Amino acid sequence: MTSIIPSVSLGRRAELLLERFGDWPTLFFEGRWYTSGELAQRARAAARGFVDLGVEPGDRVVIVMANCPEVGIAYSALWRAGAVPTPVLFLLTEDELRHVVEDSGAVAVVTTPEFLPKVQASAPTLPVVVVGGEGGIPWADLESHGELPLVERAGTDLAALLYTGGTTGRSKGVALTHAGLDAAGKAAADLSASPGRTSTLLPLPLAHAYGLLVTVAGLHAHEPGTSYLMRWFDPAGWVALVEEHRIQGTALVPSMISMLLTQPLEDHDLSCMERVGSGAAPLAADVAAEFERRIPGAEIREGYGCTESSALISSQPADERKLGSVGKPVPGVTVRIERPDGSDAASGEDGEICVGGATVMQGYWNSPESTAFAVRDGWLHTGDVGHLDAGGWLYIVDRIKDLIIRGGFNVYPRDVEDVLLAHPAVIGAAVVGFPDPRLGEEVVAFVQLGAPATPEELVAFAKERLGTHKYPREVRVIDAIPLTSVMKTDRKVLRARLAPNTSLAPNTSLAGNADEAPPRLDG
């Protein structure tokens, strides 16, 4: 494994981009164009404002905003000042935000008026910069102090501190370096490069690792392009923007793709859409195929990464694609599949995905024990199960912690979910394990429907397509699959719905099926 430390910081990278392409209309947001020169000038001024506020190199500044131009300006300004953006999703509760502020040791917070009360309750002693409204320190004041010369930082210096979702406890800060983010951004830009001036729609939260990756990739653009930024994802708004502005590319997560499939896509001219990046969670093959069928010409290119790897590990090569695979490791990144005993898995054999290279995090903030567990002998242990085929293509199976062990057999929720999503009535599916005194765990599915279907019908549908040990013995219909703040399936919420004192429906449980015998542990 080799790590390549760039000779420039992300602040310098932004200057080099402007030197290469000059001033051009680069960002469209809510009816207004912003030029690259304007954004750069505002970042230089905001950098001076942050320094005058007392922010020093290495200091963390929490950013709590929905998408807007000032998010990117704040990133650039803090990198220019040598400081560390600490972005958090505005959906965090007051207690969760207080944990981030206290754990990171932040010296300031940037927010917008709608989130100001929550910020003030969570960070009562810190200066709060407010964008677009009253209260705290007006953002305009931040940009009124002149401009700041670039503060140089080394590749090993901290560039961003991103907090994980905390699904298994308190969220942990992931320390990402200038070198790691720069390498990931360059790889992403190289893979997405296409001839001619391009346009991209950005509905992802810029506070998420995937959104941050897209931001840094823009610093490595091969030619000047245009970005259309959404304050937050809205399926109808996405369709309208693509049709009106003839947008060619976008970056989505699988739940967004599923939501778009509920729209009357055939009623709109979306023939301009060519490139659809998908990441942050596995994408069901049937969902991908349906999206491409309904938007002819749009090609989904799935990738894979995690916050701890600067959001990028693998991607579909520019000249190849395999549906169902998340591509090949990007340049500078090495992937190995590890068996439980620590040895290397064979080609095609499932195991834990381990990653080495320039993009791997510096560690978890204030958590040496967690860092030592996650990064062992230089390898990041992702907690994801997958395999590599003979050609080096990576396939994701599921999360280790989501594994269901039924009667001694492994059941990965994604296998069951993909089958349920193939049913024409199902538009969302999530599978969890239910404690069972005889088998250890039983498989339970939650589904969101777009057309009428009964639970019994869906159980039978899955039974025809899955092994005896895999198919769900109960299907529960719910209004919507719960999502986390980063739009991943919230299995924690679903498990809470399966209270210990509730039992599976007798007509769909294994115990009620006299024609079935328990699975044999010897296969």
- Tell me: the pLDDT tens digits for 151-203? 999 999 999 999 986 544 578 999 999 999 999 999 998 887 666 658 999 99
Residue 104: strand, helix, or coil: helix
Residue 432, both tokens: 């969890």
Distant-in-sequence contacts of 293-301, Cβ < 8 A, 24+ apart: 294/261, 294/265, 294/266, 295/265, 295/270, 296/271, 297/271, 297/273, 298/270, 298/273, 298/274, 299/274, 299/275, 300/257, 300/276, 301/275, 301/276, 301/277, 301/327
**With bands split at pLDDT 50, 70 and 90, how would you rate the model's confidence at 485?**
low
Rg over alpha carbons for the chain, rounded to the nearest Å, is 24
Q: Determine the CATH number of domain 10-388.
A: 3.40.50.12780
User: Distance (Å, rounded) from C-alpha 136 to C-alpha 139?
Assistant: 9
Provide the β-strand partners of residue 250.
201, 276
Beta bridge partners of residue 429, listed in sequence order: 447
Copy the structure tokens of residue 52. 């005058």
Question: Given the structure tokens 């210096």, which residue do they identify?
Answer: 157
More confident residue, 412 or 229: 229
The two three-digit tokens of residue 56, written as one number: 């020093």
Highest mean pLDDT among 164-178, 229-243, 319-333, 466-480: 229-243
Residue 124 backbone class (left: φ over 0; alpha: ψ -120 to 50; beta: rest)? alpha
3-class DSSP assignment, residue 380:
strand
Residue 86, helix vs strand vs coil = strand
CA nearest to 206, candidates 64, 348, 84: 64
Whether 258 shows a pLDDT value over 90: the answer reads: no
- Measure the CA angle with vertex 197, ends 193 and 202; round to 5°: 70
**Secondary structure of residue 77 in the 3-state scheme:** helix
Q: How many Cβ atoms are within 10 Å of 505's Cβ, its own excluded?
A: 16
Residue 283 has pLDDT above 90, yes or no: no
Burial label, 438 (beta-carbon count in 10 A; 0-12, 13-18, 19+): exposed
Domain 403-512 falls in which CATH fold? GMP Synthetase; Chain A, domain 3 (3.30.300)
Residue-wise DSSP of 471-504: S-SEEEE-SS--B-TTS-B-HHHHHHHS-TT---
pLDDT band, very low/low/confident/very high, at 486 (cuts 50, 70, 90) = low
CA distance 260 to 498: 29
In this prediction, residue 511 has a pLDDT band, given cuts at 50, 70 and 90, of very low
Find the mean pLDDT for residues 52-64: 96
Helix, strand or coil, per DSSP, at residue 351: strand
- The pLDDT value recorded for residue 142 is 93
Q: Residue 406 has which token pair?
A: 């039924």
Average pLDDT, stretch 215-221?
Answer: 91
pLDDT of 482 > 50? The answer is yes
Residue-level pLDDT at 197: 59
For residue 517, with 0-12 CB atoms within 10 Å meaning exposed, 13-18 middle and 19 or more buried, which class applies? exposed
For the beta carbon of residue 503, count every other beta carbon within 10 angstroms.
12
Phi, psi of 85 (to 5 degrees): -60, 135
Q: Work out the average pLDDT over 504-508.
A: 38
Taking 60 as the threshold, does the pLDDT of residue 377 lie above it? yes
For residue 517, what pLDDT is reported?
A: 32
Who wins on pLDDT, 310 or 89? 310
pTM for this model (two decimals):
0.80
Terminal CA-CA length for the chain: 39
Helices assigned H by DSSP within 355-454: 368-374, 413-421
- In sequence order, the 6+-apart residues with CB closer than 8 A to the CB of 39 are 26, 27, 69, 72, 73, 76
Mean pLDDT, residues 370-380: 93
pLDDT at 405: 80
β partners of residue 444? 432, 474
Place of tokens 């501190």: 161
Largest CA distance in the chain: 79
Yes or no: say if 199 and 226 are a contact pair by the CB < 8 Å rule.
yes
Q: Across the strands, what pairs with 303?
A: 315
What ranges in 197-263 are assigned the alpha helix state H?
209-218, 235-245, 254-260
Q: Are 389 and 324 in contact, with CB atoms under 8 Å apart? A: no
Stretch 121-139: mean pLDDT, rounded?
Answer: 92
Residue 211 pLDDT > 90, yes or no? no
Q: At what angle do helices 209-218 and 69-80 cross, to 10 degrees?
A: 70
- Binning pLDDT at 50, 70 and 90, where does residue 515 land? very low
- In the chain, where the domains are located: 10-388, 403-512
HSE value, Cβ hemisphere, 13 Å, CA-based, for 33: 10
Do 143 and 42 meet the contact criterion of CB atoms below 8 Å apart? yes
Residue 458 is encoded by which pair of tokens? 């869906």
Q: Which two tokens stand for residue 447?
A: 């589904």
Section 392-396 average pLDDT: 93
Q: What is the DSSP letter of 344?
A: B
Q: What single-letter amino acid sits at 440?
A: G
Kindly report the number of other CB atoms within 10 A of residue 136's CB atom: 20
